[in-house]
Structure 1
Amino acid sequence: MLRLARKTRIMLGLFVIAVLAFIYTPLLLVVANSFSSARISAWPIPGFSLTWWTQALTETSLHVAILNSIITATGATIIASVLGALVAFALQRYSFFGRDVVNLLVILPIALPGVVTGVALSNTYSNILGPIGIQLGYFGMIIAHGTFCIVMVFNNVLARLRRMNLNLEEASMDLGAGIWQTFRLVTFPQFRSAFIAGALLAFALSFDEVVVTIFTAPPGVDTLPLWIMNQMGRPNEASLVNVAATVLILVSFVPVYFSQRLTRNDE
């Protein structure tokens, strides 16, 4: 076990605190300003008020944007969960020509810049599918989110499958269980937590995606990140934007937190 000198531990601890402060202090300022009585963001806040939270409760455009984000993230998560798990099983359980290529192609969308993915999908929808009469509309945005969310489920499930004991499945089938019964009672429980953790991460990733959404969202459709970006051009609405951003922080935090808990319990 590596032992560090006391002075080194203190220096590393201070460095970690400084990095975390640099990352999370701006987020705390956003949350604080959402409770400010002023119309513009400032520090220290001039006074505490729930005015902007009350206004957010009656802001129809904000409610619609949140609903669009939830629908899109849910749809993308379903696509990512099904395809990510199936591809993970195919790559882990079977050997076939081009397996490494498939593995690369599944991971590639998360590595590509969002603007590249957005432009590529937008061109496909408008220049290829549009002329032949296929208008994906809202579903096209969901598919676009699903392309880069797949890797979240894929990586989690694949890592868990590599640690699974195949003897349990063989024993189940030797005792007379069919393939689906074995999957339901033996296989799925072994990777269930990794599957759910990947789905939660996929939801969080989709919920706050903005770049791909800009290129693939139908006209007039705003998700929460798009709504925030559009409102940033209105200085008098800054505190309302802070409320929306606080909601986005909380919604993103919850699935990530539970994903980490599930992953930790699976170890």
Structure 2
Amino acid sequence: MQFTPVSKNVLRVVAGVVMAAIYLPLLLVIANSFNATTAGSFPIADWSTKWWAAAWHNEGAREAIATSLKVAAVSTAIALVLGTLIAFALSRYTFFGKNTVNLLVVLPIALPGIVTGVALSNTFKTVLTPLGIGLGLFSVIVGHATFCVVMVFNNVQARLSRMNMNLEEAAMDMGATSWQTFWHVTFPGFRSAIVAGGLLAFALSFDEIVVTTFTAPPGTETLPVWIFNNMARPNQAPVVNVIAAVLILVSMIPVYLSQRLTGDDRK
């Protein structure tokens, strides 16, 4: 498809406007984290790093970070196991209801977070609480795992669909056991896909707020929930900017690594 010079310039302008709308607010948050005043303003007259020191010593923020790391790590671990197993089942076997299962696995990422949150909250309060399983860190992890599984599943399934099964058959014909074939032939083929899916799942869980709001008990705050609860407090606004800036920078790492891994596989 050929574009005229005018069309190319229009596309460049549109792309620039879209990128500016996405990233300028993020840059403003990072800049305001160095603003010496408590009120966010632009242009910044006085620069300071005192709010970074205040954020480092903020006990609530540190506890929220620890909670987010725990939830994201466990949710990602669950997603790696379940997402990989489901991807193998749907990629390597044919059975009745296969398309339905595929839809049900992917559906949580398409549902609005508030729907998932309300559904899980009602389930825990009406069904599981009488059995002794109430809202807590476990319910938050379950809520995050529902959509983290999709990230791993999509990556692994896409890779398995492109793998050459003749290599596995050749390995077994040469005397390799099923485990040896998996470890030396199959696993290296989708290893980067499972790592990329895990990184995306971790980033998605670490940043999630809607499902967390409905599945976390009072007093349990992940980092995004802590940011939301402290945004309306004027004295905490600069610290919130610092935490948000850190969250922006940290979130870029798994996304960048995942992109590099999936990009290398296309070469």
Deviation of residue 208 (structure 1)? 0.6
| CA–CA separation in structure 1 for the residues paired with 2:67 and 2:45 | 34
Partner secondary structure for residue 150 of structure 2: helix
Whether 1:165 and 2:172 are equivalent positions in the alignment is: no
Which residue of structure 2 aligns with residue 59 of structure 1? 58
Alpha-carbon RMSD across the aligned residues, in angstroms, is: 0.9
Letter of the 1:25 counterpart? L
Letter of the 1:168 counterpart? L
Deviation of residue 135 (structure 1)? 3.5
Is residue 40–residue 237 contact of structure 1 (8 Å, CA) maintained in 2? no
| CA–CA separation in structure 2 for the residues paired with 1:112 and 1:8 | 36
Partner secondary structure for residue 257 of structure 1: helix
Which residue of structure 2 aligns with residue 89 of structure 1? 88
Which residue of structure 2 aligns with residue 39 of structure 1? 38
Is residue 117–residue 214 contact of structure 2 (8 Å, CA) maintained in 1? yes
Which residue of structure 2 aligns with residue 137 of structure 1? 136
What CA deviation, in whole Å up to 9, does each residue of 1:165-214 have, x standing for no partner? Answer: 00110111111111111111100100111111111000111001000000
Which residue of structure 1 aligns with residue 195 of structure 2? 196
Is residue 79–residue 150 contact of structure 1 (8 Å, CA) maintained in 2? yes
Is residue 33–residue 239 contact of structure 1 (8 Å, CA) maintained in 2? yes
What CA deviation, in whole Å up to 9, does each residue of 1:210-254 have, x standing for no partner? Answer: 000001113211100000001011022211110010111112111
Is residue 196–residue 261 contact of structure 2 (8 Å, CA) maintained in 1? yes
Which residue of structure 2 aligns with residue 79 of structure 1? 78
Number of matched residues? Answer: 266
Which residue of structure 1 aligns with residue 206 of structure 2? 207
Unaligned runs of 5+ in 1: none
Letter of the 1:234 counterpart? R
| CA–CA separation in structure 2 for the residues paired with 1:173 and 1:211 | 48
| CA–CA separation in structure 2 for the residues paired with 1:185 and 1:41 | 55
Deviation of residue 136 (structure 1)? 6.0
Whether 1:251 and 2:244 are equivalent positions in the alignment is: no
| CA–CA separation in structure 2 for the residues paired with 1:224 and 1:80 | 21
Which residue of structure 2 aligns with residue 216 of structure 1? 215
| CA–CA separation in structure 1 for the residues paired with 2:8 and 2:250 | 34
Is residue 136–residue 217 contact of structure 2 (8 Å, CA) maintained in 1? yes
| CA–CA separation in structure 1 for the residues paired with 2:95 and 2:137 | 36
Which residue of structure 1 aligns with residue 26 of structure 2? 27
Partner secondary structure for residue 162 of structure 2: coil
Letter of the 2:255 counterpart? V
TM-score, with structure 1 as normaliser = 0.97
Deviation of residue 5 (structure 1)? 1.4
Unaligned runs of 5+ in 2: none
Letter of the 1:245 counterpart? A
What CA deviation, in whole Å up to 9, does each residue of 1:68-107 have, x standing for no partner? Answer: 1111111111111111111010001000111111001001
Letter of the 2:79 counterpart? A
Deviation of residue 40 (structure 1)? 1.4
| CA–CA separation in structure 2 for the residues paired with 1:144 and 1:181 | 35
| CA–CA separation in structure 1 for the residues paired with 2:135 and 2:188 | 36
Partner secondary structure for residue 162 of structure 1: helix
| CA–CA separation in structure 2 for the residues paired with 1:194 and 1:134 | 34
Distance 1:137-1:237 versus aligned 2 partners, 3 A rule: closer
Which residue of structure 1 aligns with residue 149 of structure 2? 150
| CA–CA separation in structure 2 for the residues paired with 1:158 and 1:70 | 27
Is residue 38–residue 47 contact of structure 1 (8 Å, CA) maintained in 2? yes
TM-score, with structure 2 as normaliser = 0.97
Is residue 109–residue 147 contact of structure 2 (8 Å, CA) maintained in 1? yes
| CA–CA separation in structure 1 for the residues paired with 2:179 and 2:135 | 34
Which residue of structure 2 aligns with residue 99 of structure 1? 98
Partner secondary structure for residue 203 of structure 1: helix
Which residue of structure 2 aligns with residue 119 of structure 1? 118
| CA–CA separation in structure 2 for the residues paired with 1:40 and 1:178 | 66
Letter of the 1:226 counterpart? V
Letter of the 1:57 counterpart? W
Is residue 231–residue 237 contact of structure 1 (8 Å, CA) maintained in 2? yes
Letter of the 2:35 counterpart? S
Letter of the 1:249 counterpart? I
Q: Write out the 4+ residue segments of structure 1 that deviate beyond 3 Å after TM superposition.
A: none
